[in-house]
């Protein structure tokens, strides 16, 4: 996925001279995960560069650049270090378009890796997508494959809205996939039916897709047919795809890495309840993190959803 | 100028005294009398509008308003300095500067009447909207500055913050980024000595605010913000400095908020009559008026006449704002995104159903 | 409610010399809403004071004070100005206890007014409780009456956990209620059945309680019997009270001021779905704000829930 | 001292040169030889542990580790200065200082092995945990400082941040609050010249970091951070200053991170061999060793013996950490709140059911 993101950035840098990329260590070093590696060498220091260590400034200056006509793509180092920029995101990146009645736009992308499962220390494993999804005025995208990462990031950069682009770092290098060299895009706001099924719908995204797929192997051996939906975009949510599927299967499970309460899974439960109430044959099941801080690696295995755990929950839903 | 008025020595740059007499001929900027007169008139217009805004608010015809009373020379000088190609990234207390960049009183009245249409400053170019979250706008100015360098343009960005705003982290980050990136941004701190009720001595222990520039390796200067000429000269120099690729400048404009913080504030709770009287002596309009009068460029009569004329204009624009069409449901949704999510359309439609039902109930 | 909050603060200041109160304008002026009025005069400048204008510092220093044994109660001016402090809240106030395995506690309260309906300009009307509720490690309390405000705030100050105390400013002065002079407390984490009913459960909190009560008058005229639950605490959520009620009435509606998606109402829907699935006779209804920035006063009436709107939605749920 | 080394003149406070010769006898602090020797031994212990930590990590026995290599004099001096009643509010690269405050290597190894038990520093008093979100810890130090004044205690707070950390808004807010509140907090910037790959000249345009103190009205001094004596003297003076109610001090400790940022970083990407060689000359242990040797207080032999002894101790504590009991499910929940919500108990119970099921599947 690192490669695919790098490729999308390179394509857009070549494509559009208004695109600039910056962040802590994003220039010379190519970022802590080497996602922007080689781009400064190719496009020069004016277009790909290191910034001082200050997240509020990184996002706040991007707002200014976007207003002035550039298309900044900024990198923040981890989901856990976005918070100093929270005010700039919610008070400005999300609002300039509305506040100026469309006179100024903020075509900017805020990229950062998120999620657990990489044996990282505190503040380096969190998933906080529902917080961003709750903020009116921004869009929130999470890819689950290299192919999607490229297509979605290109759409994000081309979007005239502020897009939060969260990268599941656990699968940065774990999923191998051939990705076309040329430019293509995947629309923001559309979920994808990864595999069709008839007994139960599972909604997931990011690194959880792979875990669910592993659980599906176990399910298959028990003759449970799962329809897997990759959300791809956290906001705007593709209700239609979810609802259609639930109307067909009658059962729904959502798998995320977030803390449970007030998370993405609650919203999807509410959608199913609102739009597929009469079709539901069992309570919607949320398979999510505990309401705790993601533990350090020695205990993280308790927190993260594993194929086994997903299968266990799935069976329980099927037995209802 | 920046060397001579090194802020570490806590000197203040001043050209005229409280009676409008030039006390620093050397530093006095070369402006034609005509331009000075125009500046005065603009400041007078701003003051007239400002006073009337407060009274509209008292009449319950606007929701709130942050008075500029006593601080007009900062915006007044800036109004003369800004060129069309320069950007203004404002806070919320720079009426004269907004008007100079093309915002109308009608826009502002709409805004303070709670109509979003007023936030857009639709016909103003290179003017950002009013920014309420303190100090956050400074970073936008720096981003615009980056874009100017990137496109090799010659524009300059003027951005404004209050003395209270200098305590926010964004102030620090903005000045630091600006200096590292060497962007053409002039940071103007309107030090009106209060952040709502909190005096500047509770805000910072530094000798003054201009001295904070040292922390970023940029020039800084403390200026008498109630002295039109001093503000003009400092801004002029800073503009030249920034345009020539030397990077940002910090200007502390020492002034005093003669009015309340906003119309819901009562300053008698936190300051004394003596203090207010002391500062009344330094009133920027009074000083410039005395200057002009001494030079026979302006008279009391002319002033009274102008004020009457201005009042009519302000009233006219207020009426226009008051008679603007009511906002519609779609205004709530329309501008949320450049590309509107389906869901928002549904929310709007659902609400329309409710409105129909409501009508049907009557 | 202003009086009640002031009274709770006064009681705790007198009670416990470790309690200190500060914030922008919180000292001399007594806060922009005069909630801390008179306290500096009574308890001196060391205990009740003005701070410089910097929210991150206000919360961050409170974390330090709490670690060192004080019980800071800080005031932030509006819900829209909490964001600069977001990092200190999520990364520290919420975590010091866990990070030090209980060695250090953060007994601190972060108070701020929230919500619309007071004809305020941008950034002065928002309700973002679900974001705080989603953060593991803190508790979030919202009172709906002066009586509750006092009792809950006293509990919050006495709590050894970090408590976010959100005050519905719309009813700061709107609800008159005699409040006992003496000290009493109301437990955090317990919802209150405001009025019993049999046809439908409505869950609300803060300023929405009063609106629902008005709608209930209309409902009564149509013979709809409403059970109204005041959540009082956003996290930890009192599931038991909600579920019990829904099991009885079979119908549930949630009324909040928040943007809809990923809001509190979604969580409560999910709870009902999980724990009262077989009792639900109609889809749970979310009556919330749009997914937009709270409009300025001229359009705010479209956004805020009114008794009429609540009644309209209620009737639709009853007709399902 | 603070006046003499006014940071605006970009002077640096230094006592011994690269060969361990005293070049500033006047400034040299009065410490007994014995104490200097102890300091050296502590630094040697820290270096030994640090080097071994890197190698444990390479062996895959720890997840990550931020090396202190080359920066030991900062923590080494601090270790001698801090009294029992003083607080330490650390960042994440001050091994020697943590140890001095009562953290054990075992704690640290547990931490970097991903075991939360290591974050608590259970037996250390007045030591905050490692703080990862850059610069955010400085505000905690200020809060503690307020509490010290409030309780009329005589403690001092030492807090540490990197050069990169000076760009964060929290740095600014912390120094500003500290000066306004006049709290006894010593801010130590470990200027190791890099924030991961970003050199300090891309971090700020100011002449140095100490000069930032001027923005807050507090004394600041730039110190050779690889010179134990200079660090000791500056910290000593700052401690005295703060204890006597004069408020905070900013100390810039100029040093160099000889190792990688963390074990996942490769410094050859962003710095040259020449640069590394230049700084190798200034190595703090080398300098202090030469000083001691010249005074016949210490020898190569003693050093080698000590290192062997230290290695055993480090290995012992590492073994202890490695043989610590595995974490339990309840450890994930137990400390989230002082008063645990019902819901967390339920989540734990539900998970236990899953674990039972899982067992039953085998
Ligand atoms: C981040 C933030 N915190 C608090 C407020 C509330 N507030 C509005 S104006 C003000 C005082 C501003 O003082 P100063 O910066 O000196 O500007 P002045 O009002 O004097 O022009 C405060 C605290 C805000 N708007 N934004
Ligand atoms: C708020 C925040 N942003 C980013 C990071 C990621 N990060 C960890 S260390 C580091 C560089 C710190 O540099 P400096 O302050 O100079 O300290 P040093 O590592 O040199 O000791 C960065 C960017 C972080 N931990 N916190
Ligand atoms: Mg002010
Ligand atoms: Mg560094």
**Chain D contacts to C (CB-CB under 8 A):** 87, 89, 116-117, 119-122, 128-129, 133, 136, 138-148, 150, 169-170, 173-174, 176-177, 180, 334-339, 341-343
Quick: pLDDT tens for A231-257: 999 999 999 999 999 999 999 999 999
Q: Residues of A with CB below 8 A from D170's CB?
A: 84
Q: Give which of A43, A51, A64 to mutate to test B binding, by max B Cβ within 10 Å.
A: A64
Please give the Cα distance from A19 to A153 (Å, whole number): 13
- For ligand 4, the distance from its centroid to the CA atom of residue D143, given in whole angstroms, is 24
> How buried is residue D1: exposed, middle or buried, by Cβ count under 10 Å (0-12/13-18/19+)?
middle
The boundaries of every CATH 3.40.50.970 domain in chain C are 2-171
pLDDT at D362: 81
Nearest CB among B116, B133, B177 relative to A101 is that of B116
Are D121 and C100 inside 8 Å of each other by CB?
A: yes
What residues pack around ion ligand 4 (CB closer than 5 A)? D 162-163, 192, 195
The tokens describing B98, both together, are: 């907004």
pLDDT at A177: 87
Are C53 and B111 inside 8 Å of each other by CB?
A: no
Class of domain A2-171: alpha beta
Quick: pLDDT tens for D52-69: 999 999 999 999 999 999
B151/chain A closest Cα distance in angstroms:
9
Quick: pLDDT tens for D315-342: 999 999 999 999 999 999 999 999 999 9
Decide: D165 in ligand 2 pocket, CB within 6 A. yes
Q: Are D88 and D144 in contact (CB under 8 A)?
A: no
Are A29 and D327 inside 8 Å of each other by CB?
A: no
pLDDT at C7: 97
Confidence category of residue C201, pLDDT binned at 50, 70, 90? very high
pLDDT at A174: 87
Q: Residues of B with CB below 8 A from D173's CB?
A: 167-169, 172
Confidence category of residue C135, pLDDT binned at 50, 70, 90? very high
Q: B264 by DSSP, 3-state: which?
A: coil
pLDDT at D263: 81
Task: Name the CATH superfamily, with its identifier, for domain B7-322.
Answer: Thiamin diphosphate (ThDP)-binding fold, Pyr/PP domains (3.40.50.970)
Q: Give which of B110, B117, B168, B325 to mutate to test C binding, by max C Cβ within 10 Å.
A: B168
Confidence category of residue C177, pLDDT binned at 50, 70, 90? confident
Which ipTM was obtained for this model? 0.98
Q: Residues of B with CB below 8 A from C81's CB?
A: 133-134
Q: Is A29 on the interface with D (CB under 8 A)?
A: yes
A164/chain D closest Cα distance in angstroms:
20
Quick: pLDDT tens for C258-278: 999 999 999 999 999 999 999
The CATH code of the domain at A192-319 is 3.40.50.920
Please give the Cα distance from A3 to A146 (Å, whole number): 8
The boundaries of every CATH 3.40.50.920 domain in chain A are 192-319
Please give the Cα distance from C213 to C220 (Å, whole number): 10
Residue B179: CB partners within 8 Å, gap ≥ 6?
A: B216, B217, B218, B247, B248, D204, D205, D206
Confidence category of residue C176, pLDDT binned at 50, 70, 90? confident
Quick: pLDDT tens for C150-159: 999 999 999 9
- For ligand 1, the distance from its centroid to the CA atom of residue B100, given in whole angstroms, is 23
Mean pLDDT of chain C: 97
pLDDT at C178: 86
Residue D312: CB partners within 8 Å, gap ≥ 6?
A: none
Q: Residues of C with CB below 8 A from A259's CB?
A: 134, 136
- For ligand 3, the distance from its centroid to the CA atom of residue C82, given in whole angstroms, is 20
Decide: A54 in ligand 2 pocket, CB within 6 A. no
Q: Identify which of C81, C113, C124 to mutate to test ligand 1's pocket (most ligand atoms within 8 A of the CB).
A: C81
3-state secondary structure chain D: CCCCCCHHHCCCECCECCCCCECCCCCCCCCCHHHHHHHHHHHHHHHHHHHHHHHHHHCCCCCCCCCCCCCHHHHHHHHHHCCCCCEEECCCCCHHHHHHCCCCHHHHHHHHCCCHHHHCCCCCCCECCCCCCCCCHHHHHHHHHHHHHHCCCCCCEEEEEECHHHHCHHHHHHHHHHHHHCCCEEEEEEECCEECCEEHHHCCCCCCCHHHHHHHCCCEEEEECCCHHHHHHHHHHHHHHHHHHHCCEEEEEECCCCCCCCCCCCHHHCCCHHHHHHHHCCCHHHHHHHHHHHCCCCCHHHHHHHHHHHHHHHHHHHHHHHCCCCCCHHHHHCCCCCCCCHHHHHHHHHHHHHHHHHHHCC
Residue of chain D with shortest Cα separation from C239: D343
Quick: pLDDT tens for D237-273: 999 999 999 999 999 999 999 999 988 888 999 999 9
pLDDT at D265: 87
Counting residues of chain A whose pLDDT is more than 70, the rounded percentage is: 100
Decide: B196 in ligand 1 pocket, CB within 6 A. yes
The tokens describing B105, both together, are: 């009183």
pLDDT at B44: 98
Q: Are A283 and C277 in contact (CB under 8 A)?
A: yes
When pLDDT is averaged across residues D202-211 and rounded to a whole number, the result is 98
Q: Give the residue ranges of chain B where pLDDT is below 70.
A: none
Decide: C24 in ligand 1 pocket, CB within 6 A. yes
Q: Is it the case that residue C92 has pLDDT exceeding 90? A: yes
Q: What is the DSSP letter of B203?
A: T
């Amino acid at each position: 996925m690192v490669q695919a993101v790098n490729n999308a950035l390179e394509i857009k840098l070549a494509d559009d001279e208004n695109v600039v990329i910056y962040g802590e260590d994003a220039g010379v070093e190519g970022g802590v995960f080497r996602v922007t590696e080689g781009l400064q060498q190719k496009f020069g220091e004016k277009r790909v560069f290191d910034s001082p260590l200050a997240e509020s400034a990184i996002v706040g200056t991007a707002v200014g650049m976007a207003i002035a006509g550039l298309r900044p793509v900024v990198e923040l180092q981890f989901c856990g270090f976005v918070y100093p920029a929270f005010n700039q995101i919610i008070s400005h990146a999300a609002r300039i378009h509305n506040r100026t009645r469309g006179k100024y736009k903020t075509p900017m992308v805020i990229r950062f890796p998120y999620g657990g499962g990489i044996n990282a220390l505190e503040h380096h494993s969190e998933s906080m997508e529902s917080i961003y999804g709750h903020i009116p005025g921004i869009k929130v995208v999470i890819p689950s494959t290299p192919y999607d990462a490229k297509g979605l990031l290109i759409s994000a950069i081309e979007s005239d809205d502020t897009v939060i682009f969260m990268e599941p770092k656990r699968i940065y290098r774990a999923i191998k996939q051939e990705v076309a060299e040329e430019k293509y895009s995947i629309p923001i706001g559309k979920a994808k039916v990864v595999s069709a099924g008839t007994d139960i719908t599972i909604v997931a995204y990011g690194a959880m897709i792979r875990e669910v797929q592993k659980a599906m192997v176990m399910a298959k051996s028990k003759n449970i047919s799962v329809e897997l939906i990759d959300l791809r975009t956290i906001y705007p949510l593709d209700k239609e795809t979810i609802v259609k599927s639930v109307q067909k299967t009658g059962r729904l499970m959502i798998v995320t890495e977030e803390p449970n309460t007030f998370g993405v899974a609650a919203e999807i439960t509410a959608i199913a309840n609102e739009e597929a109430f009469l079709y539901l044959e069992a309570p919607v099941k949320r398979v999510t993190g505990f309401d705790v801080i993601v533990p350090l690696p020695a205990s993280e295995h308790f927190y993260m959803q594993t194929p086994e755990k997903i299968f266990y929950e799935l069976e329980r839903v099927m037995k209802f | 100028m920046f060397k001579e008025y090194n802020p570490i020595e806590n000197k203040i740059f001043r050209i005229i005294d409280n009676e409008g007499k030039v006390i620093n001929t050397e530093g006095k900027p070369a402006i034609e009398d005509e331009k000075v007169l125009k500046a005065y008139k603009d400041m007078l217009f701003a003051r007239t509008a400002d006073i009337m805004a407060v009274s509209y608010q008292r009449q319950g015809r606007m929701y709130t308003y942050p008075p500029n009373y006593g601080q007009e020379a900062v915006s007044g000088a800036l109004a003369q300095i800004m060129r069309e190609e320069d950007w203004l990234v404002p806070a919320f207390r720079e009426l004269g500067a907004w008007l100079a960049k093309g915002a109308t009183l009608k826009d502002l009245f709409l805004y303070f009447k709670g109509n979003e249409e007023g936030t857009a400053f639709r016909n103003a170019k290179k003017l950002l909207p009013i920014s309420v979250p303190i100090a956050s706008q400074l970073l936008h100015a720096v981003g615009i500055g980056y874009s100017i360098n990137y496109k090799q343009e010659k524009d300059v960005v003027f951005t404004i913050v209050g003395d209270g705003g200098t305590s926010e982290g964004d102030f620090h980050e903005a000045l630091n980024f600006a200096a590292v990136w060497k962007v053409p941004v002039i940071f103007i701190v309107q030090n009106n000595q209060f952040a709502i009720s909190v005096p500047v001595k509770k805000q910072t222990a530094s000798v003054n605010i201009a001295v904070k520039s040292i922390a970023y390796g940029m020039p800084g200067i403390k200026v008498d913000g109630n002295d039109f000429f001093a503000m003009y000269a400092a801004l002029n120099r800073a503009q030249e400095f920034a345009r020539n690729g030397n990077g940002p400048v910090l200007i502390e404009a020492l002034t005093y908020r003669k009015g309340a913080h906003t119309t819901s504030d009562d300053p008698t709770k936190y300051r004394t009559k003596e203090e207010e009287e002391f500062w009344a002596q330094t009133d920027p309009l009074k000083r410039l008026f005395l200057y002009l009068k001494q030079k026979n460029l302006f008279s009391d009569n002319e002033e009274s006449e102008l004020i009457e004329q201005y009042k009519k204009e302000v009233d006219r624009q207020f009426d226009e704002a008051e008679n603007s069409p009511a906002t519609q449901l779609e205004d709530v949704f329309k501008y949320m995104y450049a590309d509107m999510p389906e869901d928002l359309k549904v929310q709007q439609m659902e609400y329309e159903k409710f409105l129909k039902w409501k009508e049907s109930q009557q």
